[in-house]
Structure 1
Amino acid sequence: MTIGSRIKMIRKTKKVNQATFSNQIGISQATLSEWEQDKYKPSVDTILALFTQFDVNIE
């Protein structure tokens, strides 16, 4: 599973749309979309913050 698909799965599990989810983690919706499509990868710090904020296992 890619990082993008994992982020998308977390977002869908939390039942949040892209606009709300991206706002909660402080990025643009376009950036989130690109992450979910694996066009770009978030920084390690962003990944850690994202998984901490949404209380999911980083592995």
Structure 2
Amino acid sequence: MYVCSCHALTHNHIEAEIAAGARCTREISAACRAGTDCGGCVRNISAILRAARQSETIELETAV
């Protein structure tokens, strides 16, 4: 599914940027331009970031 239709970026593109170290919407925008045109996808990018943070927290808690 497309997250940023202006730059034809999918959910997988955004997750790849997070896996590469992006931790905020600005870092994702700098890396792949998502959210830099109309801005309509910024909320979706933020939601993907939140989900990734929650997933990391759950993984850390179960590892301890």
TM exceeding 0.5: no
Task: Using structure 2 for the length normalisation, give the TM-score.
Answer: 0.33
| TM-score, structure 1 normalization | 0.34
Higher RCO (C-alpha 8 Å, min separation 6): 1
- Between Structure 1 and Structure 2, the one with more strand by share is 2
